[in-house]
Structure 1
Amino acid sequence: MILCSVVNQLLRLRTDEKGAVSVMMGFLLVPLVGFLAIGFEVSNWYLITRSMQNAADAATVAAAINNGANYDVEARAVAAQYGFVNGASNVSVAVTNTAACPGGGNSCYSVTISGYTPLLLSQIVGFQGDANFNGTLEKKLSAAAVAKQTTVPQEVCLLALASSGAPQGIRTNGAPTGNMNGCDSMSNTAAQCNGSNLGLGISFAVGSNNGCGAKQMSSPALTDPYYYLASNIPALSSSGCAGNYPQESKHGNSYTVAASNQRTGTLNLSAGNNFLCGDQLLTGDVTINTPVGQPAVLIIENGQLDLNGHTLTTSSGSAVTLVFSGTNGSYMHAPTDNTNGSGGVLDITPPTTGTWKGVAIYQDPSLTTGVDVSAAGNSPTWNVTGLVYMPHASLTLKGAIDKSTFGKSCLVMVADNFQISGTGGVLKTDIGQCGQAGLTMPTAKIPGGAVLVL
């Protein structure tokens, strides 16, 4: 009887499933705790790494913006503000300004922050970390960021191309009253201002930059931004000059030229290209009229424009571009006043539309002789809106240049080199008004911040 009872109890026990889950949980408890430990640990590592990444991002941007000899000091100072102090608590903040850039080159800035954090529950599953400091197992964490410096265009109204190799594209001697009215300048070689900074805003230069502008900055050389316009100058064979270029001759203290080349009164130009051959001598004031809304181009081939003490002006509603073309040799290709400062005035308003928009005076860049101007703004006086382009000329600025009577407050001068003395200066150029005048100004580039690239 007792035996039967025992057998029955054993049979019930065999089929009884009560407590099975508890047994299974006993077997699974150890790996479950391990997974929870790893999950907690990894989450902690992620939070620390995320903080490191924020610090690295901010530090590398700061280094790129600094762009100076102490860029690394600035980067580490920013990282310290996030709690990552270089050399403290096994933290390393590595900084370089020669990192590889994604687009090529090695001029990017990089910050790498690394450090260690003690292991907590992850040791339960046997994880030993990356280092042992004083008996404490620790995990190494790191974050890195790469940034590059960005630039913004800065319009300049005085550009010295210095293609002749002039050692100083912009130079002044004894010009304490010269005033560029905040104009920014650019020299493809050096800039040297003695006695005055000329009232320049930013003076950009490829070489040394001494005394010019309220601020001096280095810049890569600028390519000629207006050379392309030369393709619009008609071939010499189309001018009708047929090699006949009357030239001025001096008689006593005055100059004369063939009657066909003497100008006074009204000069009516048709829309498009108009040609004059040889030296043009004003014998009285001249007003240029062009069709309303149809700009004209006045091409003076192998000749100068001698104001001879008189005024050449565009009438209200008229617009003209003066182009000097021809061949190198004994010819003069520029506006002049051979009366030695007796009051000639060049008052030119350029077109605001079309091929020559914004261009007041343009010397063919193939001309390298007879292109210099010795007393711009003084003999003659210049009242000019828009671009004055003399890429191979040495332009000596001796007087103040103002806007044209009917033009905008915009003046951009491009020459091989500038020599500025006395009261040499320009009106305050308004970038917005240059746009209204149809002219796109040349631009240098200045640091404008930084952007993360990795």
Structure 2
Amino acid sequence: MLRNPTTLTRRFLVALGGDRRGNVIVPFAFLLPVFLAMTGLGFEGAHWYQTEQSMQNAADAAALAAATNATSSYDKEAKAVAAQYGFVDGTNNVVVTTSNSAACPSGPSQCYSVNIKAPVRLIFAQLVGYTGDTKVGTAAAQLVTAQAVASQATAPRSYCLVGLASSGASQAIRTNGAPKADLTGCSVMSNTDAQCNGHDLKATYGDAAGTSSGCGATQTSKVKPITDPYVGLASNIPPDPCSSYAQIPAKKSGTPLPSSNKLSGTVNWGGNQTICGDLQLTGDVTLTGSDLVLVIQNGQLDTNGYTIKTASGAAATIVFSGDNSGSYTHAPTGGGTIDIAAPTSGAWSGVAMYQDPDLTSGVDVSAAGNSPTWDITGLVYLPHASVTFSGAVNKSSNGQSCFVMVADNITINGTGSILSTGGCAKAGLNMPQNQVPSRGKLVA
């Protein structure tokens, strides 16, 4: 039987209206573009973040490299490091900007900055109407930036030889060929230039407030001048009790030294002992007292071919004091041996030989370590002396392996060497130190 078409149509529409299968298709069709845009924007945001992080890592590394370099080539150093991270200045719209005069947080006096900029093209963000803040060609892009600021850190360094250059000596450490010189384990510091021709002295570091050239396996120029760390010890020198100063006669017909200015044999001195004028050895001398301070006022220590030494358990500091009048020599002389260990405690701890910093004449030493031979544990302080360092300095027979010399300027000859180092802490000596440039550190 044929049914009424109108009835069939009505029934179909009623059935269709009651069928809920697929009722989300239409709303989903409207929301799909929004869903895709948000998902794409999330991926794009993650890409921006990754790019920014990579860029920040590059800026940090580049700033550290610039501060560590700290020379006129800091710019090339920084850009080379940034390139290793994939950010090459002038390529793919990347801009790397550097400065060696960036604003520093409190503390550093000079800071180095690196700024990296690069555009990231936009794709999905445009679906929600965001067109970025720049363009790559005609394409929309977002400019991503990163910046880092670093300063050059410093680290303490100890020295065995220091040239103070208080006289204005242009080269406080120098040598003109020293093929046998051996300062292994020792570092040297000049408050002006350090110039070593033909041999690095086997020194670990050669530092200079001016230019360091050839001195040390590692050479550092433009280091902050070192401050004299021992000048204050002069306050420990006892007052001068002398009314006259005996001198070794220039000729045999001259007035001989009195017995009080001659020394030989075993001497059990302790505390402060003052000699008025020259002190001359007339035989080998063994000092057995503890913490002896032997003060030679307006005179020299003439070893006269003999040995002066500290016995086991004994210690001595030889002090040269007086004034700058007359023709006094305030230094060790003679062809013998000085074999002394400095005290390990007290006011003169670690000090084996000390020239009064008020002395400026008669203080030079022409053959340090050679005439007389030096077997010394401790500091030799000659702040206004021009010293020619010729011999091999060993530790004292009864002391630690420690030798430090501080002078106005030092010339090192071919045989100048320090045979033992490394025991200054046990010897009671605080070695001279300076803050020297180290690796860079981030400050912003």
Alpha-carbon distance change, 369 to 453 in structure 1, aligned in 2, over 3 angstroms: same
TM-score, length of structure 1 as denominator length? 0.82
Listed as ranges, the matches of 1:313-392 within 5 Å are: 313-330=309-326, 331-337=328-334, 341=335, 344-392=336-384
Cα drift, residue 72 of structure 1 = 2.9
Picking from 54, 57, 79, the partner of 1:76 is: 79
Separation (CA, whole Å) in 2 of partners of 1:84 and 1:215 = 32
- Quote how far apart the aligned CAs of 1:174 are: 5.6
> Do the aligned partners of 2:163 and 2:409 also contact (CA within 8 Å) in 1?
yes
Aligned to 1:96: 99
| Counterpart pick for 1:395 among 387, 392, 403 | 387
Q: Give distance in 2, aligned partners of 1:63 and 1:304.
A: 52
The C-alpha deviation readout for 1:157-176, integer Å capped at 9, x for no partner, is 11111111122222334644
CA distance in 2, matches of 1:80, 1:450: 19
| Alignment partner, residue 229 of structure 2 | 225
Local SS of the residue matching 1:75: helix
The equivalent residue for 1:299 is 295
Q: Is the 8 A contact 1:333 1:363 kept in 2?
A: yes
Equivalent residues in 2 for 1:23-34, closer than 5 Å: none
Partner of 1:284: 283
Q: Which residue of 2 aligns with 1:15?
A: none
Preserved contact between residue 390 and residue 412 of structure 2 (Cα < 8 Å): yes
Report the number of matched residues. Answer: 417
**Matched residue, 1:14:** none
Alignment of 1:5-404 (within 5 A): 42-103=45-106, 107-173=110-176, 175-194=178-197, 196-218=199-221, 219-236=223-240, 241-252=241-252, 256-270=256-270, 272-291=271-290, 295-330=291-326, 331-337=328-334, 341=335, 344-404=336-396
One-letter amino acid of the counterpart of residue 331, structure 2: A
Amino acid in structure 1 at the alignment position of 2:282: T
Report Cα offsets for 1:162-210 as digits up to 9, x if no partner.
Answer: 1111222223346443333453212222233345443433322233444
In the TM superposition, residue 257 of structure 1 has moved relative to its aligned partner by: 0.7
Per-residue deviation, 1:308: 1.4
Q: Is the 8 A contact 2:344 2:428 kept in 1?
A: yes
Q: Which runs of no fewer than 5 residues in structure 1 stay unpaired?
A: 1-21
Residue type of the alignment partner of 1:453: V
Taking a change above 3 Å as real, the CA distance of residues 163 and 60 of structure 1, as seen in their structure-2 partners, is: same
CA distance, structure 1, for counterparts of residue 253 and residue 90 of structure 2? 82
Aligned-residue offset at 1:130: 0.7
Change (3 A) 1:375 1:47: closer
1:110 deviates by 1.5
Scaled by the length of structure 2, what TM-score is found? 0.84
**Counterpart amino acid of residue 398 in structure 1:** S
Relative to 1, partners in 2 of residues 1:318 and 1:422: Cα closer, same or farther, differing over 3 Å? same
Contact conserved, 2:281 with 2:304, CA < 8 A, in 1? yes
Cα distance in 2 for residues equivalent to 1:190 and 1:102? 32
Query: SS of 1:231's equivalent?
Result: helix
Q: Deviation of residue 112 (structure 1)?
A: 1.1
| Greater CA drift, 261-270 or 384-393 | 261-270
Give the direction of change, closer, same or farther, for the CA distance of 1:125–1:179 in structure 2 (3 Å limit): closer
Contact preservation (8 Å) 2:281, 2:302: yes
- The question of whether the paired residues in 1 share the 8 Å contact of 2:196 and 2:215 is answered with yes
Give a deviation string over 1:83-108, Cα, whole Å, max 9, x none. Answer: 32322322212222332221266632
Letter in 2 for 1:427: L
Q: Deviations over 1:59-85 (max 9, x none)?
A: 222333334444333333332333323
Question: Which deviations, in whole Å up to 9, do the C-alpha atoms of 1:264-323 show, x marking residues without a partner?
Answer: 1122222x43322222121111111124xxx23222222221111111110100011111
Deviation at 1:224, TM superposition (A): 0.9
Counterparts of 2:219 and 2:45 in 1: how far apart (Å)?
52
Q: Does 1:443 align with 2:433?
A: yes
Structure 2 residue identity aligned to 1:233:
I
Unaligned runs of 5+ in 2: 1-23
Change (3 A) 1:301 1:166: same
